[in-house]
Amino acid sequence: MSEKTKELIQAALSVRKRAYAPYSQYAVGAALLTKSGKIYTGVNIENASYPLSICAERTAIFKAVSEGELMFDTIVIATKNGGSPCGACRQVMVEFASDMTVITVDEQGQIVMQSDVAEILPGAFDRKKLE
Q: Who contacts 2 (Cβ-Cβ below 8 Å, separation ≥6)?
A: none
Please report the beta strands in the chain, taking only residues with DSSP state E, as ranges in sequence order.
29-34, 39-43, 72-78, 101-105, 111-116
Query: Which stretch of DSSP H or E encloses residue 62?
Result: helix 56-66
Active-site residue (options: 3, 46, 57, 119) = 57
Residue 126 DSSP SS3 = coil
d(CA 90, CA 55): 11
d(CA 129, CA 10): 37
Active site residue 57: yes
Question: Catalytic residues, which ones?
Answer: 57
